């Protein structure tokens, strides 16, 4: 199969516009890393990215790789066909990352039957490449977060 043919089989995704501010997040998957902006001074994780730490107001912030583990904070099984080439049902979830209580990502859960998804379920990141970005998706993890 050609790359173009393979790409045509993938579900449709609206992609993010990559900028200097968000590049670490959207491209970290190339190295298998979930990168979150982190305050050098106090260690607070800053997401979405901002050039200031909201906790200590430190200005020295840089991306760091996280474990990629978390738990399902909440989820929904989307049944509505919003886009012509993104077929429902699929699971949209908000995953709370294990490094920090208030650090969450909206994402998709993959490799799981929608009926089996539960709040509190441990999950781990997997990356799906699209053009110039690597979308962080999550799958069930045997290991408790």
Residues that bind another protein (CB under 8 A): 11, 13-17, 19, 22, 47-48, 73-84, 86, 90, 92-94, 102, 104-108, 119, 130, 133, 135, 137
Cβ proximity to another protein, 65 vs 117, nearer residue: 117
Contacts of the segment 80-83: beta carbons below 8 A, 24+ positions apart: 83/12, 83/14
Shortest gap between Cβ of 113 and another protein (angstroms)?
Answer: 13
Residue number with CB closer to another protein (32 or 81): 81
* Of residues 1 and 84, the one with the C-beta less far from another protein: 84
| Rg, Å, the chain Cα set | 16
Question: Between the CA of residue 77 and those of 70, 94, 111, what are the distances in Å?
Answer: 19, 12, 14
Q: Least distance in Å: CB of 135 to another protein? A: 5
Rounded least distance, CB 24 to another protein, Å? 14
Q: How far is the CB of 5 from another protein (least distance, A)?
A: 20
Nearest alpha-carbon partner for 74 in 62, 91, 89: 91
Paired strand residues for 76: 92
The rounded distance, in Å, linking the Cα atoms of 21 and 28 is 13
Q: Is 1 or 99 the residue whose CB approaches another protein more closely?
A: 99
């Amino acid at each position: 199969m050609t790359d173009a043919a393979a790409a045509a089989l993938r579900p449709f995704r609206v992609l993010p516009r990559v900028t200097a501010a968000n590049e670490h997040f959207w491209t970290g998957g190339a190295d298998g890393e979930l990168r979150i902006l982190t305050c050098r001074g106090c260690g607070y994780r800053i997401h979405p990215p901002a050039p200031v730490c909201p906790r200590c107001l430190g200005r020295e912030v840089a991306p760091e790789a996280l474990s990629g583990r978390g738990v399902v904070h909440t989820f929904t099984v989307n049944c509505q066909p919003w886009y012509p080439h993104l077929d429902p049902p699929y699971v949209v979830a908000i995953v709370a990352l294990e490094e920090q209580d208030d650090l969450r990502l909206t994402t998709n859960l993959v490799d799981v039957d929608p009926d089996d998804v539960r709040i509190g379920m441990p999950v781990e990141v997997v990356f799906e490449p699209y053009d110039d970005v690597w979308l962080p998706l999550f799958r069930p993890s045997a290991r408790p977060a």
